[in-house]
């Protein structure tokens, strides 16, 4: 076979990346990138990495993002030149704002073919602007290139950055591929650097609340517990559990003797789901401490944050008895008030299970129960059922829709692995991200055995599904996870009904350009992509439909506008 410096560099680079811990690589087909794609196939054959092939670059980018979210290790995505690179921009932006490590390997024309109108050629260096942490434009290798040294330097640059996306733009000359030789290597473990930073030490006591936004993790719950502070944990924070959890925080923050008594706010992660939290931080007299993530834009609503820190610790000094009692009373009031506010209206919650012996009472109960089960599913019914059906060995992915906000207002504490693309909170890539999370969590050969048996559930609106419909395509020979895509179908973007403009704009104009109504037959769509489809029309059908089953399922739940 023809010798190809392109293939030699591709093989050497993948070898160095695997040696440093890379495990997952997503490939999109293309001519200029063929050396990387063929080398990746050879590496997978040798058991050195997991290869995923997708035809749509936007889908591929979010699939890689989901793989990185679940594993905590950078995932790579390989694309050819031209518009293929630009299609990765949404995923790169999300990775940048959420602090997710993602490696873009784009193929490009060599220097002599740039700027002359060559086919599928644009200015790829700088295409992601400030969204990438590092970027290298690598000249095309030739016979004089020290391949091994170059590959090692590129891999060090690519995986030496842990706070967001990295872009290696790799120029290749013809012959674009040749013999692929596997380097002699042992796969390594990715070891991200842990930069030292400022730690703030706080004393526990009343007046403090802990806010956990997207990506905060379990450390936020532990911090709230040690501080004796109410925990405001968004549904995608990874901290929505524990005795200090306050689910009904929106209503309490606007209630006398709650929000107006807050003196200090400690923020972890990226809060995005309410207006009440930024309003609290901007309030005069409230001290806010934000725990930052290296390289990620600081959360600073109203430019009112007093301090930024890399970590927060709690003082070990023992509190005086009176202050300790005040701290317990402080968090107790929040938790009890939240539980009282969450009590559902009996008519909405369903018939009571307590009945007498009178046959008329029993008949009335049976009629009431039947009516409840035949009723259309509400948004709250849906989010509570999905939450109840999910367990620690499962994964739950929430799309940017009304449903994530409904869940944030209603679902109780539970220690689940929940993810939502809240870096930019865009509608993009929800299904593709979930596919990446599902594939990584269910890989039978690695990781926690319980997770490998779990199911990934995706809860999203109809427009979010249609926006990412290409992610439903799983090609021949590709691994297919256990996944349920649960679509709350209200026929359009009803999230905009909650904006002020809904009450001021011309109704017909608002519906056309904001609601964007749709009438897609999701059953036909599912069949076209090889997914099972189930229509969940009533409350009675919902629990059974959410039971985990093998394969890929779309559960369509009609919702009222």
pLDDT in tens, 497-529: 888 888 899 999 989 999 899 999 999 999 999
What confidence category does residue 481 fall into, taking pLDDT thresholds of 50, 70 and 90?
very high
What confidence category does residue 84 fall into, taking pLDDT thresholds of 50, 70 and 90?
very high
Task: Specify if 41 maps to a domain.
Answer: yes
Q: Which residue has the tokens 């502070």?
A: 229
User: Are 166 and 214 in the same domain?
Assistant: no
Across the beta sheet with 395-398, the strand order is 417-419, 395-398, 456-461, 483-489, 552-558, 532-535
Query: What is d(CA 399, CA 293) in angstroms, rounded to the nearest whole number?
Result: 23
Report CA dihedral (434, 440, 442, 448) to the nearest 10 degrees.
Answer: -130
Q: Under a CB-based contact definition with an 8 Å cutoff, are residues 224 and 194 in contact?
A: no
pLDDT in tens, 141-186: 999 999 999 999 999 999 987 889 999 999 999 999 998 888 888 8
Instruction: Name which of 238-247, 362-371, 415-424, 548-557 the model is least confident about.
Output: 362-371
Query: What is d(CA 376, CA 543) in angstroms, rounded to the nearest whole number?
Result: 13
User: Are 90 and 167 in the same domain?
Assistant: yes
User: Are 330 and 394 in the same domain?
Assistant: no
The proportion of the chain whose per-residue pLDDT surpasses 90, expressed as a percent, equals 77
How confident is the model at residue 369, as a pLDDT? 60
In this structure, are strands 24-27 and 50-53 parallel, antiparallel, or unpaired? parallel
What confidence category does residue 121 fall into, taking pLDDT thresholds of 50, 70 and 90?
confident
Write out the two tokens for 317. Answer: 């000094």
Q: Is the pLDDT of residue 453 over 80?
A: yes
How confident is the model at residue 353, as a pLDDT? 56
How confident is the model at residue 467, as a pLDDT? 96
User: Are 409 and 552 in the same domain?
Assistant: yes
Query: What is d(CA 132, CA 125) in angstroms, rounded to the nearest whole number?
Result: 11
Query: What is d(CA 192, CA 172) in angstroms, rounded to the nearest whole number?
Result: 30
Q: Is 183 exposed, middle or buried (0-12, 13-18, 19+ CB in 10 A)?
A: middle
> Please, what is the end-to-end C-alpha distance for the chain in angstroms?
62
How confident is the model at residue 93, as a pLDDT? 97
Query: What is d(CA 79, CA 105) in angstroms, rounded to the nearest whole number?
Result: 7
Task: Specify if 500 maps to a domain.
Answer: yes
What confidence category does residue 361 fall into, taking pLDDT thresholds of 50, 70 and 90?
low
Task: Specify if 362 maps to a domain.
Answer: no
305: preceding bond cis by omega (within 30 degrees) = no
Q: Residue 427 region, left (φ>0) first, then alpha (ψ -120 to 50), else beta?
A: alpha
Task: Specify if 185 maps to a domain.
Answer: no
User: Are 101 and 221 in the same domain?
Assistant: no
Give the DSSP letter string of 481-517: --EEEEEEE-SS-GGGGGSGGGGTS-HHHHIIIII--
What confidence category does residue 359 fall into, taking pLDDT thresholds of 50, 70 and 90?
low
Rounded to the nearest integer, the mean pLDDT of the chain is 92
How confident is the model at residue 181, as a pLDDT? 84
The proportion of the chain whose per-residue pLDDT surpasses 70, expressed as a percent, equals 93
Half-sphere exposure of residue 450: CA atoms within 13 angstroms, side-chain side: 6
User: Are 537 and 388 in the same domain?
Assistant: yes
Q: Which residues of 288-307 are buried (b: 16+ CB within 10 A; e: fewer)?
A: bbbbbbeebeebebeebbee
Q: Under a CB-based contact definition with an 8 Å cutoff, are residues 407 and 427 in contact?
A: no
Task: Specify if 512 maps to a domain.
Answer: yes
Q: Is the pLDDT of residue 448 over 70?
A: no
pLDDT in tens, 89-110: 999 999 999 999 999 999 999 9
Instruction: Name which of 118-127, 297-306, 417-426 the model is least confident about.
Output: 118-127
Query: What is d(CA 379, CA 559) in angstroms, rounded to the nearest whole number?
Result: 7
What confidence category does residue 275 fall into, taking pLDDT thresholds of 50, 70 and 90?
very high
User: Are 394 and 513 in the same domain?
Assistant: yes
User: Are 323 and 439 in the same domain?
Assistant: no
pLDDT in tens, 285-329: 999 999 998 888 999 999 999 999 999 999 988 888 888 899 899
pLDDT in tens, 36-80: 999 999 999 999 999 999 999 999 999 999 999 999 999 999 999
Looking at 322, 341, 360, the residue that finishes a domain is 341
Task: Specify if 176 maps to a domain.
Answer: no
Query: What is d(CA 154, CA 149) in angstroms, rounded to the nearest whole number?
Result: 9
Looking at 171, 189, 220, the residue that finishes a domain is 171
How confident is the model at residue 1, as a pLDDT? 62
In this structure, are strands 134-138 and 165-171 parallel, antiparallel, or unpaired? parallel
Q: Is 52 helix (H, G, I), strand (E, B) or coil?
A: strand
How confident is the model at residue 354, as a pLDDT? 54
Supply the range of the domain harboring residue 125.
Answer: 5-171
In this structure, are strands 24-27 and 75-79 parallel, antiparallel, or unpaired? parallel
Question: What's the structural domain count of the chain?
Answer: 3
User: Are 529 and 468 in the same domain?
Assistant: yes
Residue 160 sits in a domain of what CATH number? 3.40.50.970
Q: Is the pLDDT of residue 463 over 90?
A: yes
Residue 265 sits in a domain of what CATH number? 3.40.50.1220
Mean pLDDT over residues 346-350, rounded? Answer: 53
User: Are 390 and 327 in the same domain?
Assistant: no
Query: What is d(CA 45, CA 440) in angstroms, rounded to the nearest whole number?
Result: 18
Query: What is d(CA 246, CA 136) in angstroms, rounded to the nearest whole number?
Result: 46
Query: What is d(CA 207, CA 221) in angstroms, rounded to the nearest whole number?
Result: 17
Task: Specify if 351 maps to a domain.
Answer: no
Task: Specify if 464 maps to a domain.
Answer: yes
Query: What is d(CA 73, CA 155) in angstroms, rounded to the nearest whole number?
Result: 14
User: Are 538 and 403 in the same domain?
Assistant: yes
User: Are 261 and 392 in the same domain?
Assistant: no
More confidently predicted of 105 and 366:
105
Query: What kind and span of H or E run contains 267?
Result: strand 264-268
Instruction: Name which of 129-138, 261-270, 498-507 the model is least confident about.
Output: 498-507
């Amino acid at each position: 076979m023809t010798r190809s410096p392109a293939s030699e560099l591709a093989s050497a680079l993948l070898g160095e990346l695997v040696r440093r811990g890379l495990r997952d690589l997503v490939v999109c087909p293309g001519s200029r990138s063929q050396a990387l794609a063929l080398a990746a196939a050879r590496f997978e054959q040798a058991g050195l990495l997991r290869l995923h092939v997708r035809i749509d670059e936007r889908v591929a980018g979010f699939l890689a993002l989901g793989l990185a979210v679940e594993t905590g290790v950078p995932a790579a995505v390989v694309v050819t030149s031209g518009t293929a690179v630009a299609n990765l921009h949404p995923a790169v932006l999300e990775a940048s704002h959420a602090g997710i490590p993602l490696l873009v390997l784009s193929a490009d024309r060599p220097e002599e073919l740039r700027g002359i109108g060559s086919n599928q050629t644009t200015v790829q260096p700088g295409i992601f602007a400030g969204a990438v942490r590092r970027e290298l434009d690598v000249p095309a290798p030739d016979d004089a290139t020290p391949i091994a040294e170059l590959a090692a330097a590129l891999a060090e640059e690519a995986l030496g950055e842990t706070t967001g996306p990295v872009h290696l733009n790799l120029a290749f000359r013809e012959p674009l591929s040749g013999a692929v030789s596997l380097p002699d290597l042992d796969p390594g473990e990715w070891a991200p650097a842990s930069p030292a930073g400022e730690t703030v030490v706080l004393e526990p006591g009343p007046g403090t609340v802990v806010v956990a936004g997207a990506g905060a993790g379990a450390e936020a719950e532990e911090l709230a517990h040690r501080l004796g502070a109410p925990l405001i944990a968004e549904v995608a924070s990874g901290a929505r559990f524990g005795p200090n959890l306050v689910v009904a925080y929106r209503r309490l923050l606007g209630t006398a003797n709650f929000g107006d008594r807050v003196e200090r706010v400690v923020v972890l992660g990226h809060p995005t789901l309410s207006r009440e939290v930024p309003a609290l931080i901007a309030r005069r007299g409230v001290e806010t401490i934000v725990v930052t993530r290296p390289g990620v834009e600081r959360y600073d609503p109203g430019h009112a944050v007093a301090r930024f820190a890399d970590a927060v610790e709690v003082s070990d000094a023992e509190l005086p008895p009176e202050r300790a009692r005040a701290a317990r009373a402080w968090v107790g009031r929040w938790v009890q008030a939240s539980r009282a506010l969450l009590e559902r209206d009996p008519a909405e919650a369903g018939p009571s299970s307590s009945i007498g012996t009178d046959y008329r009472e029993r008949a009335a109960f049976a009629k009431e129960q039947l009516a409840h089960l035949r009723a259309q599913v509400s948004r709250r019914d849906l989010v509570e059922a999905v939450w109840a059906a999910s367990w620690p060995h499962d994964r739950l992915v929430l799309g940017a829709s009304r449903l994530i906000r409904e869940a944030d207002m209603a679902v109780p504490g539970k220690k689940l692995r929940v993810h939502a693309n809240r870096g930019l909170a865009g509608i993009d890539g929800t299904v593709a991200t979930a596919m990446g999370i599902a594939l990584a969590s269910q890989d039978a050969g690695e990781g926690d055995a319980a997770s490998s048996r779990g199911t990934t559930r995706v809860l999203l609106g109809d427009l979010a599904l249609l926006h990412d419909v290409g992610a439903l395509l799983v090609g021949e020979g590709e691994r297919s996870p256990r996944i349920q895509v649960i679509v709350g179908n209200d026929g359009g973007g009803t999230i905009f009904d909650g904006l002020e403009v809904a009450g001021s704009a011309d109704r017909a104009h608002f519906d056309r350009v904001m609601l964007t109504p749709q009438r897609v037959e999701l059953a036909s769509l599912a069949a076209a992509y090889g997914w099972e489809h189930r229509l969940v029309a009533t409350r009675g059908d919902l629990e059974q439909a959410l039971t985990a089953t093998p394969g890929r399922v779309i559960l369509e739940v009609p919702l009222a506008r």
